[in-house]
Amino acid sequence: MLSRRSVLAAVLVLAGCSRKPAGKAPEAPGASGPMTLPGAVAGRWRSPGDKVRDRWRHPAESLAFWGLKPGWTVVEFWPGAGWYTDILAPYLASNHGRLYLANLQTADPADLSAQEMDAALRERIRARPGLYGDVRFTTFGPASGPVAPAGTADLVLFLRNLHNWMAAGVAEKAFRDAFDALKPGGVLGIEEHRAAPGGVQDPLAGDGYVQQAYAIQLAKEAGFVLDKASEINANPKDSRDHPFGVWTLPPVRRSSPRGQPDDPTFDHARYDAIGESDRMTLRFVKPR
């Protein structure tokens, strides 16, 4: 079994796998007025590689479903290379909101992958204050403290990370920390790889898929109430029976077991034709 530290380090590599450096682009609009959500998604500062994935992740529709509004305080857990951050931060900066990024907590000074990803994201944001605004960095991990001041967040986002937290044994803590950060009436939004219904949930989510009922149960145990579910990010082509779990599919496109060299003879065609995974999209509310 992989150690928790190994799991946490591995997810950093996966989180940054599709990121390609973006060229210089104009800052957030000023005289043209506050940025709209579609405007943030269409922003020229986003890399072409990130925009290609919009057809699978539907960021504008998903954020609208979760109820994102101008002036809100948002907490994004484990932003990775910043795929969603590049939408959230400019939108909130232009609309008098605030963004907290709860990065991976690592206590291991030898964990260079965590340090490098954290440093790269911080540098990119700090280099363009006119675009990203005053983003606040916190941490989330086995021994982390609050991800934001208690009772101040309007929206907390778990974006394709629940399976990682299950593998690392911190899923319950993630829900507790989210609950503590949210205002009464605040929203928890979840996007997660969805296992076929009716099966038995692997508590470590070894294939990367999570039962929707299991995710709902974890949220309820933390005190949340399910408000609604959406099929925005569903993919009926995803059979979920892939040789290397969900990571066989784009964008990771794994061709060998984790930790082993890529297999140059592996045929990706079948999995590329499926596209990205089938995903649940859930909206929970912290009771008033």
pLDDT at 68: 98
Supply the range of the domain harboring residue 237.
Answer: 4-18+32-285
pTM of the model: 0.89
Cα 40 from Cα 166, distance rounded (Å): 31
Is 127 a member of any domain? yes
Q: 138, 103 in Cβ contact below 8 A?
A: yes
Is 24 a member of any domain? no
Phi-psi category of residue 231: left, alpha or beta, with phi > 0 → left and psi -120 to 50 → alpha: alpha
pLDDT at 53: 98
Is 49 a member of any domain? yes
- Which burial class, exposed, middle or buried, applies to 125 when counting CB atoms under 10 A from its CB (0-12, 13-18, 19+)? buried
> Pairing state of beta strands 279-285 and 182-193?
antiparallel
Structural domain tally of the chain?
Answer: 1
pLDDT at 4: 52
Is 185 a member of any domain? yes
> Which single residue is written with the structure tokens 């066989």?
248
pLDDT at 32: 67
Q: What are phi and psi of 102, to 5 degrees?
A: -90, 85
What does pLDDT average to in each consecutive run of 10 residues of the chain (288 residues)? Answer: 49 45 43 87 97 98 98 97 96 98 73 78 96 96 96 98 96 98 98 95 97 98 98 98 98 96 97 98 98
Is 27 a member of any domain? no
Is 25 a member of any domain? no
pLDDT at 111: 61
The pair of structure tokens assigned to 238 is: 């995803």
| CATH number for position 165 | 3.40.50.150
Is 58 a member of any domain? yes
Is 115 a member of any domain? yes
